[in-house]
Amino acid sequence: MSDATPWPTGLKLKKSERILEVTFEDGAYFRLPAELLRVESPSAEVQGHGPSQKKTVPGKANVAIAALEPVGNYAVRVVFDDGHDTGLYTWDTLYRLGRDSDKLWTDYLTALERQGLSRE
């Protein structure tokens, strides 16, 4: 984790809402939807091995988080109910996803439309 990223002070799964709440020591508070976490997974399956290889993942409107598994003191593995569990969400990644969620969501919806794909 870079020195610039604040340390997380809270991580709470709201299963019924399909939301992961994350708070950081700088006061930042993010409500990250399971769908956003899934389609932005830091796994090679989604991100590829470089920016040009990123995949648009359709059909995840109803995906839920089945479990959270701590990974050392630097990340959490998010296990989704569709079986995906290979992305390690570092504190940097969670902070970035929260901070940039509006842009990431807009980019995702645009990519789906451009490729003729659906969230359903």
Strand pairing report for 19-24 and 8-14: antiparallel
pLDDT in tens, 17-26: 999 999 999 9
Task: Write down the H helix ranges in the chain.
Answer: 34-39, 44-47, 91-99, 101-114
38 has pLDDT over 70:
yes
52 has pLDDT over 90:
no
pLDDT in tens, 55-100: 999 999 999 999 999 999 999 999 999 999 998 999 999 999 999 9
pTM: 0.93
Contact 6, 26 (CB under 8 A): yes
Mean pLDDT of all residues in 42-66: 93
